[in-house]
C-alpha cells in the first residue's frame, strides 16, 4: 500500500501511472540537452554543404538514448546509495514511488547504451572510426556522471562536464559526420549551447541543494550557497547571450541568430522563479523553465542557421 507521503508527492507533481511511469524515467525535460546540440551542429554543417538525413537521425537518436540512459543510471545509483526517497522531487520516481525494480531500470539503461553503440557503428562506418572512440568516451562519462566510486554529479564539476560533452562535443560530432571536417567557428558556436546545458544541471543542483548537502555532495550550488548559485546562474545566461551577440558581430554567426534574444524573458523567469524559494517542489517551475530556455534558444539558433543558407 502506498504511504501517505508517497501519494502526496505524486499528487503534487501530477504524476500518473501507466505509460507516464516510463516517460518520467526518461526525464523528458532534460532531453533538450541531447536534441539541441545535434540540431545546431547539423545546421552548421548544412550551411556549408549537403545534409545526410540518415546520419542526422542516427546521431539524434544515439544522443537521446545516451542522455536517457544517463538519467536511468542516475535513478539507479541514487537509489542504491539511499539518496532518493519517495519524497524526492526532480527524479523520475520510477523506483521509489512507482515500484519498478531497480534492476529493471539498470538493465534498461544498459539496453539504451547498447542500441546507441549500434548506431555509433553505423555513424562511424559512414564517417570515421574516430567517432566510435569519442562516442565511447562520451558514454563512459555518461555512466561516471552518477556511477563509479566518485560520481561527477557529486562534485563541483558536474555542470562543466555536462556542458562540454553534451554541448561542445556533440555539436562537434554532429558537424563532423556531415562534413568530415571541424572548424574553430564550430567550437565557438558551441559555447552558448554548452553554457545552457550546464545551466540545466546547475538549476537542478540549486533545487536539490539541501538534500545534496545532507548526503555529502559538493556541488557548485552547495559551495556557493543558494543565493550566490542563483546569481551565478544569471551570470551564465548573460554570458550565453553575450557570446551570441559577439559571434554575430564578428560574423561567426549570421545576423539572423539575433532572433535568439526573444528567449531572454524566459531566462529571466528562471531567475525570478528561483528567488525566495527554499522547497524543491516550489523550484520545479524554475527547473522546467531552464530546460525550455535551452530548447527555445537552441531551436531558434538552428533555424537562424537554416535561414542564412537560403537568404
What pLDDT, in 10s, does the model give residues 53-98?
999 999 999 999 988 888 888 888 877 777 666 655 555 567 777 7
When pLDDT is averaged across residues 208-235 and rounded to a whole number, the result is 92
**How confident is the model over 250-290, as pLDDT tens digits?**
999 999 999 999 999 999 999 999 998 888 888 888 988 99
What is the model's pLDDT at position 46? 96
307 domain-assigned: no
Cell numbers describing residue 68? 536517457
**CA 61/CA 55 separation, integer angstroms:** 10
Q: What pLDDT is attached to residue 306? A: 95
The residues, any chain, with a CB within 8 Å of residue 210's CB and separated by 6 or more, are 278, 280
Q: Where do the H-state alpha helices sit in 3-101?
A: 4-12, 19-25, 32-46, 53-80
pLDDT of residue 216: 83
Q: Is residue 72 part of a domain?
A: yes
Looking at 133-142, 165-174, 237-246, which range is the least confident one? 133-142
Domain holding 150, by residue range, is: 15-301
pLDDT attached to residue 138: 87
Distance of alpha carbon 207 from alpha carbon 63, whole angstroms: 26
- When pLDDT is cut at 50, 70 and 90, the band that residue 4 belongs to is very low
What mean pLDDT is reported for the chain? 87
Question: Residue 101 domain-assigned?
Answer: yes
The answer to whether residue 113 is domain-embedded is: yes
Three-state DSSP state, 141: helix
Q: Tell me, what CATH number does 269's domain have?
A: 1.10.600
How many domains does the chain divide into? 1
Q: CB–CB of 115/307 below 8 Å? A: no
Place of cell 524526492: 88
User: pLDDT tier at 52 (50, 70, 90 boundaries)?
Assistant: very high
Instruction: Please check whether residue 272 lies inside any domain of the structure.
Output: yes
What pLDDT sits at residue 39? Answer: 97
Between 102 and 258, the higher pLDDT residue: 258
pLDDT for 9 beyond 60: no
Amino acid at each position: 500500500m502506498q504511504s501517505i507521503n508517497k501519494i502526496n508527492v505524486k499528487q503534487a507533481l501530477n504524476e500518473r501511472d501507466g505509460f507516464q511511469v516510463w516517460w518520467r524515467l526518461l526525464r523528458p525535460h532534460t532531453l533538450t540537452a541531447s536534441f539541441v546540440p545535434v540540431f545546431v551542429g547539423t545546421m552548421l554543417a548544412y550551411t556549408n554543404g549537403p545534409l545526410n538525413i540518415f546520419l542526422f537521425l542516427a546521431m539524434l537518436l544515439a544522443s537521446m538514448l545516451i542522455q536517457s540512459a544517463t538519467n536511468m543510471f542516475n535513478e539507479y545509483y541514487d537509489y542504491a546509495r539511499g539518496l532518493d526517497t519517495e519524497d524526492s522531487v526532480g527524479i523520475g520516481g520510477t523506483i521509489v514511488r512507482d515500484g519498478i525494480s531497480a534492476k529493471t531500470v539498470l538493465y534498461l539503461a544498459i539496453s539504451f547504451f547498447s542500441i546507441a553503440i549500434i548506431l555509433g557503428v553505423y555513424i562511424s562506418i559512414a564517417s570515421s572510426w574516430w567517432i566510435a572512440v569519442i562516442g565511447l568516451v562520451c558514454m563512459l562519462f555518461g555512466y561516471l556522471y552518477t556511477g563509479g566510486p566518485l560520481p561527477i554529479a557529486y562534485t563541483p564539476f558536474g555542470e562543466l562536464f555536462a556542458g562540454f560533452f553534451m554541448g561542445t562535443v556533440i555539436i562537434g560530432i554532429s558537424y563532423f559526420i556531415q562534413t568530415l571536417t571541424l572548424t574553430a567557428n564550430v567550437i565557438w558556436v558551441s559555447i552558448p549551447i554548452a553554457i545552457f546545458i550546464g545551466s540545466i544541471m546547475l538549476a537542478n543542483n540549486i533545487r536539490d541543494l539541501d538534500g545534496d548537502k545532507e548526503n555529502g555532495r559538493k556541488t557548485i550550488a552547495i559551495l556557493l550557497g543558494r543565493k550566490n548559485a542563483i546569481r551565478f546562474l544569471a551570470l551564465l545566461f548573460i554570458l550565453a547571450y553575450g557570446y551570441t551577440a559577439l559571434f554575430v558581430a564578428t560574423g561567426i554567426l549570421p545576423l539572423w541568430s539575433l532572433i535568439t534574444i526573444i528567449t531572454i524573458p524566459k531566462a529571466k523567469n528562471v531567475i525570478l522563479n528561483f528567488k525566495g524559494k527554499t522547497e524543491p517542489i516550489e523550484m520545479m517551475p524554475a527547473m522546467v523553465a531552464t530546460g525550455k530556455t535551452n530548447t527555445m534558444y537552441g531551436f531558434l539558433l538552428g533555424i537562424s542557421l537554416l535561414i542564412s543558407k537560403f537568404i
